[in-house]
Amino acid sequence: MLNYVDHYNAAESRIRHLLATAGRAFSSNEVKGVEEFLNAGEYGLALETFAAILLTNEAQFFEPAVVETIQSLATEMHVFDSKSVNSIVALYERQNFGVAL
């Protein structure tokens, strides 16, 4: 049986890890914005906000582990229509494989 509490705790932990590593360049207000969604249990919004901030910070290169984590979380949380998440994945694929898959 799926334990939803463990599922959500794991998602929160993974997003906080993203924020602590890839979000190092974020402003304190940007970090606070993501943390507010996490604290409210809005993990999909936290992920979308993280991805949007990453894009607006004009990252020239996305680390594979960051993209894989974002993509995995989006799939697990059914965040399929996030423009920011999809843009990060497409940019990563274009940078590394020459085409968006």
Angle at 23 between CA 18 and CA 26, to 5 degrees: 155
For 46-96, write each residue's pLDDT tens digit. Answer: 999 999 999 888 665 678 899 999 999 999 998 888 899 999 888 888 888
Q: What local confidence, expressed as pLDDT, does residue 100 receive?
A: 52
- Angstrom distance (rounded) from CA 41 to CA 35: 10
Q: Please state the pTM of the whole predicted model.
A: 0.87
- Angstrom distance (rounded) from CA 87 to CA 16: 21
**24 pLDDT higher than 60:** yes
Cβ(5)–Cβ(33) below 8 Å: no
